[in-house]
């Protein structure tokens, strides 16, 4: 039996390698950011976001036998709707190169652009983890590729949590979180580590909202009439309680995101 050459076996099954040549001027130095006002556009928030407010108000309706559930449990219990379909995972050709090599990144991006043209996609979108995302942005900028490189969701959450830690440094947030978590754990949370950080920030957000809502639900009779805070009447409180009970009983249908 005659042997088949390796070249004929792998023909058409690989990705052509394009070697990256860095420009004279650093590509990242040529990036410009638009003012924030130019990035704003009108957007109507879905009515399902009102469920957050009802969950916060539930703090004043709780009883010892029925404590308020956490946010994720409440949302899972009261909302119904369509769920995303199962992910379609397909194995694509593998480039036998160092993933951090810019030539490997360029070859991958060009392969994605060509595949997008076959699917009639004008601008493809690809996700990178944080170590490779910055290099991919540099390659796209220097080669003027029509492709969008997004930071991976996990690393995006880490960056967002880390920004909260920087902005809120010295505000007392660390002291508040140390009431529930150890000092070493809180230090990791404020630096952007995701483990338990999201729940910790939800607890802090809930506590702040409870303090704000206390101005509406509680009345201090010792204050002067001029200094009294406008509070909710009994009718308003009953209406809020009825809205909460109705939502739990009838469920809330999630609205689709506007296209």
Neighbours of 13 (CB within 10 A): 7
Share of the chain above pLDDT 90, in %: 25
The pLDDT assigned to 259 comes to 44
Average pLDDT over residues 210-214: 86
Residue 80 has pLDDT above 80, yes or no: no
User: Does residue 102 lie within any of the structural domains?
Assistant: yes
The pLDDT assigned to 69 comes to 83
Domain carrying residue 138 = 88-151
pTM of the model: 0.67
Comparison of pLDDT for 168 and 82, the residue scoring more: 168
Comparison of pLDDT for 2 and 12, the residue scoring more: 2
The pLDDT assigned to 221 comes to 47
Predicted confidence (pLDDT) per residue in 126-169, tens digit = 999 888 999 999 999 999 999 999 988 888 888 889 999 899 98
User: Does residue 79 lie within any of the structural domains?
Assistant: no
Check residue 224 and give left, alpha or beta (phi > 0: left; psi -120 to 50: alpha): beta
User: Does residue 61 lie within any of the structural domains?
Assistant: no
The pLDDT assigned to 258 comes to 45
The candidate with the shortest Cα–Cα distance to 165, out of 181, 150, 180, 177, is 177
User: Does residue 207 lie within any of the structural domains?
Assistant: no
Average pLDDT over residues 45-57: 80
* pLDDT band per the 50, 70, 90 thresholds, residue 101: very high
Comparison of pLDDT for 125 and 48, the residue scoring more: 125
User: Does residue 112 lie within any of the structural domains?
Assistant: yes
* pLDDT band per the 50, 70, 90 thresholds, residue 70: confident
User: Does residue 137 lie within any of the structural domains?
Assistant: yes
* pLDDT band per the 50, 70, 90 thresholds, residue 1: low
Residues near 30 by Cβ (< 8 Å), separated by ≥ 6? 141
User: Does residue 224 lie within any of the structural domains?
Assistant: no
User: Does residue 254 lie within any of the structural domains?
Assistant: no
* pLDDT band per the 50, 70, 90 thresholds, residue 20: very high
Q: At what angle do helices 153-167 and 130-143 cross, to 10 degrees?
A: 100
The total number of structural domains in the chain stands at 1
């Amino acid at each position: 039996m005659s042997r088949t050459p390796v070249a004929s076996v792998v023909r058409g099954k690989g990705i052509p390698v394009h070697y990256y040549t860095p420009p004279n001027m650093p590509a990242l130095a040529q990036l410009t950011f638009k003012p924030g006002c130019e990035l704003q556009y009108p957007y109507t928030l879905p009515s399902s976001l009102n469920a957050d407010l009802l969950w916060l108000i539930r703090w004043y309706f709780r009883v010892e036998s029925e404590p308020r559930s956490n946010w994720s449990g409440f949302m899972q219990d009261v909302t119904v709707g369509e769920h995303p379909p199962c992910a379609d995972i397909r194995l694509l050709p593998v480039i036998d190169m160092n993933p951090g090599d810019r030539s490997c990144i360029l070859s991958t991006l060009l392969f994605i652009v060509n595949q997008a043209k076959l699917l009639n996609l004008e601008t493809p979108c690809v996700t990178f983890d944080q170590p490779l995302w910055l290099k991919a942005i540099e390659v796209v900028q220097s080669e003027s590729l029509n492709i969008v490189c997004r930071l991976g969701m996990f690393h995006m959450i880490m960056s967002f949590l880390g920004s909260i830690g920087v902005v809120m440094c010295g505000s007392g947030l660390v002291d508040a979180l140390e009431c529930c978590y150890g000092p070493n754990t809180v230090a990791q949370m404020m630096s952007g580590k995701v483990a338990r950080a999201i729940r910790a920030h939800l607890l802090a957000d809930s506590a702040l909202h409870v303090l704000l809502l206390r101005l509406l639900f509680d009345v201090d009779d010792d204050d002067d009439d001029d200094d009294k805070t406008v509070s909710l009447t009994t009718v308003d409180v009953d209406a809020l309680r009825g809205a909460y009970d109705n939502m739990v009983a009838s469920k809330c249908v999630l609205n689709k995101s506007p296209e």
